[in-house]
Amino acid sequence: MPSVPQLTLIDPIDITPFGGNLLRVCDVNGDGESEYVILQSPGQFQSQVRDWKNSGVTPRDQDVFCITVIDSSGNVLWQYGSPWPEPMNPYVSHGSGDQLVIDDVDGDGELEIVTVRKDELLILAASCGRIKNSTRLPADNFTRLATARLRGKRDGC
């Protein structure tokens, strides 16, 4: 029987203060190095569509939203929103796996982060977190995003 290769952790990064339920690895600022984009979000639990009174989801859980971008050394490059204030006490989340997309959605040659927070679609400059565009959605239960390149090549991560 062939031996199973063993993995070795090379460089641990402590993400306790802002660790979340979604991680993307991408060169968001064009420096040639990969950055880590981390999302804290309640996902589908942000919605008021269902009655959450008996589910254990609190209004505080529904307000969690933070995007943190760090470099490979763990240095925070920027944050949008505020991280969960109790990193050792988890918040409730479900269905946020497709709630963030990184792509050049406006064709300017720079990457954007497209995400949903409650009833708002946000487009952030991936390099700095500045809001480039936003719009209200007809409901607060959108949690799945995708981008498509109809002409040209796809530039996302």
Alpha-carbon gap, residue 157 to 155, rounded angstroms: 7
Q: Which of 103, 81, 75 is nearest to 20 (CA)?
A: 81
Provide the CATH topology of domain 22-136. Thrombin, subunit H (2.40.10)
Contact (CB, 8 A) for 46 and 60: no
Locate the domains of the chain by residue range: 22-136
Cβ(91)–Cβ(85) below 8 Å:
no
The pLDDT of 116-135, averaged and rounded, is 94
Starting at the edge strand that comes first in sequence, how are the strands of the sheet with 131-136 ordered? 100-103, 112-117, 120-125, 131-136
Find the mean pLDDT for residues 124-129.
97
Q: What is the pTM of this model?
A: 0.82
Confidence category of residue 3, pLDDT binned at 50, 70, 90: confident
- The predicted pLDDT at position 80 comes to 96
Token pair recorded at residue 135: 């719009």
Statement: residue 52 has pLDDT above 60: no
pLDDT of residue 44: 63
* Nearest Cα to Cα of residue 89 among 58, 67, 111: 58
- State the pLDDT at residue 99: 85
Task: Find residue 154's DSSP bridge partners.
Answer: none
Q: Per DSSP, what are the bridge partners of residue 133?
A: 123
